[in-house]
Amino acid sequence: GVHVLAYAKALEIATGVDVTKMFPIPKLDNKAFETTRKWEAMGEHRRLYTFSDKDYQGIAQIWKGTHPTDGGKLEAFAGLPGYGGPVPELPDLPEEFAPGISAEDLMQIAERLKRHAGL
């Protein structure tokens, strides 16, 4: 839910459209999931972490205001949450989110789109 809301807020800043009011998506309420209730009770759905001390510092320009489902204050934090274990260094997974599309394929698609758009 945090990431869906962050994306919706970024779209609102970019376009001026409050996509949280569009039906049926994005559905921001995680209460339907039993495993999220504990985290929502602690207010974690209103906190966005950069997971880096130097990257994504501009996220606070997007992650601000109040949460649309409970009205609580949105907070952005640099670094990791104060709980959990160390973050492991994992090997690169180039097809993690786009199975079957290589980096080269993606670059070719981007070039075709740029040519089509006249850029």
pLDDT (tens digit, 9 = 90+) per residue, 40-66? 899 999 999 998 888 888 899 999 999
pLDDT (tens digit, 9 = 90+) per residue, 22-34? 755 656 677 778 8
Closest CA to 19 of 82, 11, 50, 93: 11
Look at residue 86 and tell me if it is in a domain.
Answer: no
Cα 7-47-26 angle, rounded to 5 deg: 30
Look at residue 106 and tell me if it is in a domain.
Answer: no
Look at residue 112 and tell me if it is in a domain.
Answer: no
Rounded distance between C-alpha atoms, residue 4 and residue 34, angstroms = 18
pLDDT at 14 over 70: yes
Look at residue 115 and tell me if it is in a domain.
Answer: no
Q: Give Rg (Cα) of the chain.
A: 18
User: What range does the domain containing 19 cover?
Assistant: 2-81
Helices (H) and strands (E) in the chain, counts: 3, 2
Quote the pTM value: 0.62
Look at residue 89 and tell me if it is in a domain.
Answer: no
